[in-house]
Amino acid sequence: MSSQTKPHRAQPQPTLARLAAEAGVSVSAVSRILAGKKLDTFLPETVARVKAAAEKFRYRPNRLVRGIQTGRTGLVGVVIPAYNDFYGMVMAGIHDHLMEHDRLPVVLWSGADAMGLQGRAELEQIHSLVDLRVEGIILKPVFDAASDQYMHEIIERNIPLVVVDRALPRVHACFAGSDDDVAMAKSLDFLKSLGHRCIAYFGPATTVSTGVQRLQSFRVFMAQEPDLRGREFLTGEWRTNCGEAEAFLRGAGEVTAVVAVNDRFAHAVCEAAKLLGRRVPQDLSVIGHGNLPVSTYMTPSLTTVEQHPYEIGRSAARRLLARIEKPPEPCRKVLIPPDLIVRDSTGPAPHLYAAGS
């Protein structure tokens, strides 16, 4: 370092008293003007002088002090997994809506399914957010069987809670997610229009709400369609492999189309079909859920359900702020209508291919 070079010294945060002296007003006036309170009680030139002083000294409000004074920290806790693009888009929607409304998200990446975290770790994260005095919490649950007793600190402190993607029927919370009934109806209606009559569901045997709801939606639709035959092949867990899909296809019988619980399960079906010499879509049509990047990279590209995760995130944040700003606001379920994205993995039933050849 040159002998003439002086080390940089951090400038102290300017105080309200310094701004008041610069603007020639009281400290209380500076506080109210910078908070945007009752501006109509001040002359426009007074407001202008205070704002000019704040800009001159690069004043930034202290959120911690403001939180102590008002009981409103402006912080919102967000516990979201970090393991795929779907939740990344959910997080983007949450972030954008909160920042647009002057709320700061405090994000804890749960990563539960990828890293083996259990309900206890999730509960510790929730406690950390409570300790920060967050005004509300948005949570993608790890522990689907959670009850109000599990979330007792949130319930007792009356902290607004919104869960996303996975519902918690035993917890007093709002919910934002995709409408699985509509998703399944669109998928099956489309396959029916292509002439498929024996359609299978491929997914996990699980208590996770998303899997349960999609399987239930499949069963309800099939029960209302006497000319369709439904088959089910349920695996042991959410992660599947080509071997399980191959075992399913070997015993699939007359099945000409498959609706998978998500894009990864659909990908496994397509890979197993190749191993067995079955062409997609000429011999077997396949539909996934999620519209993850893998769906466009596959050959053939995957027909799938677009669940609009960004809008799910924004809706979750919107619902949470409604409950923060209007405490009596009741808990509501927000279901985002999905869309079917038709690509190359679906086509007419095999007998129609044969008739057209």
Same domain, 120 and 173: yes
Tell whether 99 and 144 lie within a shared domain: yes
346 and 240 belong to one structural domain: yes
Q: What is the CATH number of the domain that holds 40?
A: 1.10.260
Residue 194 near residue 349, CB atoms below 8 Å: yes
Domain containing 29 equals 16-61
Q: Give the C-alpha separation, 179 to 197, whole Å.
A: 24
Tens of pLDDT along the chain (357 residues) come to 455 555 556 566 778 888 889 889 998 888 888 877 778 888 889 989 988 988 888 887 766 656 655 667 889 999 988 777 899 999 999 999 999 998 999 998 875 443 444 556 777 888 888 888 899 999 988 766 676 667 778 888 889 999 999 888 778 889 999 999 999 999 999 999 999 999 999 999 887 888 999 999 999 999 999 999 999 999 877 777 788 999 999 999 999 999 999 999 999 999 999 999 999 999 999 999 999 998 999 999 999 999 999 999 999 999 999 999 887 677 889 999 999 999 999 999 998 765 554
Q: Give yes or no: residues 244 and 351 share one domain.
A: yes
Domain CATH code at residue 138: 3.40.50.2300
Peptide bond between residue 160 and the one before it cis (omega within 30 degrees of 0): no
Statement to judge: residues 126 and 88 lie in one domain: yes
Query: Residue 145 in contact with residue 207, Cβ under 8 Å?
Result: yes
Indicate the number of domains in the chain: 3
**214's tokens:** 């999609």
Distance CA 123, CA 127 (A): 6
Identity of the residue numbered 32: R
pTM: 0.82
Q: Which whole-number Å values give the CA distances from 224 to 40, 129, 208, 242, in the listed order? A: 63, 46, 25, 32
Q: Give the SS3 label for residue 176.
A: strand
Do 159 and 196 reside in the same domain of the chain?
no
Residues forming a β-bridge with 286? 258
* pLDDT the model gives residue 114: 38
